[in-house]
Structure 1
Amino acid sequence: MTPPETPPRRRGRPPRAEAGDGPGARERIVAAARAEFAERGYDGASIRAVAKGAGVDPALVHHYFGPKERLFAAAVEAGLAPALAAAAALPEGGRDDVGERMTRFVLGLWEDPATREPLLAVVRSAVANETAAAVFRELVTDRLMLPVAGLLGVADARLRAELAAAQLVGTAMLRYVIKVEPLASVGFETVVARAAAAVRAHLTG
């Protein structure tokens, strides 16, 4: 007797039992994606590896997020959104000490393990991939430089804010990514004090 043919599998959301779907599945996917992008960068990460890390079927990742670039954006946004929302408050303290506040805010994101991982995902990916670079530009420009530039009230405010951001990105790369000594090991307050002087010079000097 000829066994019945197995019907072809339809695209879209996989069966629940097979997919690993259920409460918290979306959050597990985002967390796994953040870890995967941080470790391997955008080009090295794969939907299959993210699905394995989250304990779900790859089809469920596609169902929730679509292509890899949307998964990347979602992972970064989920990790950094609360902290970046706080960047809007930077201008509220006035112009006089904005250099120190900007320095403490940016380096504080790197100091906190909860926000360091999505930042690593962006930085490691942005170096080699334009999709990731676009996400990084949006984060730095819209969420950090423009609010600060609007506070300065000078003709070259955008350039000053960009130079200040470059100072902080460079400091963060050497301390948290490349881990150059003694910068990688010196106390946080020491780094803030030294870096803030340079940032203040760019912004208001």
Structure 2
Amino acid sequence: MSLSPHGADETSEAAGSGRSGRRPGQSGTREAILDAARARFAEVGFDKASIRSIASTAGVDPALVHHYFGTKQELLTAVVDLPVDTDLIRAHIAAAPVDQLGETIVRTVVGVWDSPVGASAIAAFRAILGGGDAGLVRSFVLEVILKDVRHRVDSPPGAGGTRVALAVAQMGGVLMARKIIGIEPIVSMSAEELGRLVGPSLQRYLTGDLDLPPS
């Protein structure tokens, strides 16, 4: 499946995948876990919020958290609740050679944002940020969407986090110009064009010589 702007229908189909209906009796437990996870992520951050502490806050056994949501990353994805297929986005980026990550990230993210689910995703992000939960968005981007990228560009050792943070800042500026402020010609460019023009800047942050000391 393509995440390019030419694959909007496929992107929309993927956005609806993986969302099965809740069976009777599940809703209360699921919501309690989600509420507890949201509270713990906000209180101590994603890294320090353990499944055990989330389960304790929700008043359930830790095994139930894994049963309903799988990993902590998958639980965070459920808390953020964006109408996009995060597994597909990650797979699309993971399939790119390291020296093409910059262009691939731009094309993939812009393709999703331009798809039929894009408006809903933007609205969800705005709601999260408006509610003072910026940490959830940060954790979602760094620990779910781009976690694998951080490991792939970790040179010198320990620099992966800085490299990805710089790339995210660049990409955030592009999305702000395209979807929020409406700056031309950024708005009118295709995902392919933006990938070709902006991708090299992201690539420099991800793999170029930034004169970063080892951590």
TM-score with structure 2 setting the length? 0.55
Query: Is the radius of gyration larger for structure 1 or structure 2?
Result: 1
Aligned to 1:129: 131
Q: CA deviation at 1:65?
A: 4.8
Q: Structure 1 residues 64, 153: closer, same or farther in 2, change over 3 A?
A: closer
Cα deviation, 1:31-77, whole Å, max 9, x if unaligned, reads 9xxxxxxxxxxxxxxxxxxxxxxxxxxxxx999857x977xx85852
Among candidates 179, 191, 194, match of residue 191 of structure 1: 194
Q: Specify which structure has the bigger relative contact order, considering alpha-carbon pairs within 8 angstroms and separated by 6 or more residues.
A: 2
Q: 1:106 to 1:187 in 2, by over 3 A?
A: closer
Alignment match, 1:99: 102
Q: Is the 8 A contact 1:99 1:199 kept in 2?
A: yes
Map 1:56-205 → 2, pairs under 5 A:
65=31, 76-77=80-81, 79-80=83-84, 82=85, 84-89=86-91, 90-122=93-125, 124-131=126-133, 133-154=134-155, 155=157, 156-205=159-208
TM-fit CA distance, 1:184: 1.2
Work out the CA distance in 2 between the residues paired with 1:64 and 1:145.
26
- Preserved contact between residue 154 and residue 161 of structure 2 (Cα < 8 Å): no
Distance in 1 separating the partners of 2:179 and 2:116 = 11
- The question of whether the paired residues in 2 share the 8 Å contact of 1:174 and 1:183 is answered with yes
What is the CA-CA distance between 1:169 and the residue it aligns to?
1.2
The structure carrying a bigger helix percent of its residues is 1
Question: Secondary structure of the residue that 2:186 maps to in structure 1?
Answer: coil
The separation in 2 between residues aligned to 1:183 and 1:145, in whole angstroms, is 24
Residue segments in structure 2 that go unaligned for 5+ positions in a row: 1-15, 17-26, 39-76, 209-215
Opposite residue 77 of structure 1, the aligned amino acid is: D
**Contact map agreement 2:170 2:202 (CA 8 A) in 1:** yes
Change (3 A) 1:188 1:88: closer
Alpha-carbon RMSD across the aligned residues, in angstroms, is 3.0
Distance 1:173 1:93, change over 3 A: same
TM-score, normalized by length of structure 1? 0.57
Q: Which amino acid aligns with 1:143?
A: V
Partners of 1:94 and 1:188 lie apart in 2 by 19
For residues 200 and 160 of structure 1, the distance between their equivalents in structure 2, rounded to whole angstroms, comes to 9
- Structure 1: distance between partners of 2:152 and 2:198: 20
